[in-house]
């Protein structure tokens, strides 16, 4: 199979999900996909034009995973373009935190996306150490940081306490890791640059 593309565009993600829908239709199976991460920012918020992969939770898991693999083979994408690695970061209090993606209406696949508040909380709690190390070393930007700043602006969250409160709404029993503290500091630095 060809090497994975560096990024999938909004249009490609939509086409990939359409391909999954077609394969579900052939089997007369109804499926659901809940988008998180970059794909959510692409399709639900139009905040990005592309993303590396599609982070999602989906049901029925084995059937959608197989359909996604077949789409990958057909399109020359990485086999894991649609993955459920994000499920380890899902909140146990995510009821009401998802909404249907109006631009993704398919016959056999319902597509939902995390609301902005939930997505921001996930990005803060899941801040990747590799990205934190890059930020500490003085890198100008990271996609997670850019996404978090965009989400803060969309939600009107301007203070550190606002972000911590937003995280605690979705993860009330999770201690705030040091990497999340550093990540939130960087968000604040970007939102309130020193003059």
- Please report, for the chain, the start and end positions of each structural domain, with discontinuous segments joined by +: 8-114, 118-191
> Is residue 2's pLDDT more than 50?
no
End-to-end Cα separation, the chain, in angstroms = 50
Say how far apart CA 24 and CA 86 lie, in whole Å: 22
pLDDT of 126: 83
Q: What is d(CA 125, CA 22) in angstroms, rounded to the nearest whole number?
A: 35
Q: In percent, how much of the chain has pLDDT > 70? A: 88
Band of pLDDT at residue 5, cut at 50, 70 and 90: low
pLDDT tens column, 83-115: 999 998 898 876 678 999 988 999 999 999 999
Higher pLDDT, 48 or 136: 48
């Amino acid at each position: 199979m060809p090497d994975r593309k560096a990024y999938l565009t909004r249009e490609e993600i939509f086409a990939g999900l359409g391909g999954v829908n077609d394969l579900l239709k052939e089997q007369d199976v109804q499926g659901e996909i809940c988008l998180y991460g970059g794909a959510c920012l692409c399709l639900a918020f139009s905040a990005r034009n592309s993303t590396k992969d599609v982070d999602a939770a989906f049901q029925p898991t084995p059937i959608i995973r197989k359909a996604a693999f077949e789409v990958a083979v057909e399109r020359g994408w990485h086999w894991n373009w649609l993955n459920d690695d994000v499920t380890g970061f899902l909140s146990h209090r995510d009821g009401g935190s998802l909404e249907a993606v109006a631009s993704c209406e398919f016959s056999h696949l319902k597509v939902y996306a995390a609301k902005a508040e939930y997505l921001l909380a996930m990005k803060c709690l899941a801040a990747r150490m590799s990205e934190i190390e890059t930020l500490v070393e003085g890198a100008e930007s990271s996609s997670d940081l850019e996404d978090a700043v965009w989400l803060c602006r969309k939600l009107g969250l301007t203070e550190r306490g606002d972000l911590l409160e937003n995280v605690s709404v979705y993860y009330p029993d999770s201690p705030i890791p040091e990497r999340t503290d550093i990540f939130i500091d960087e968000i604040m630095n970007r939102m309130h640059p020193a003059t």
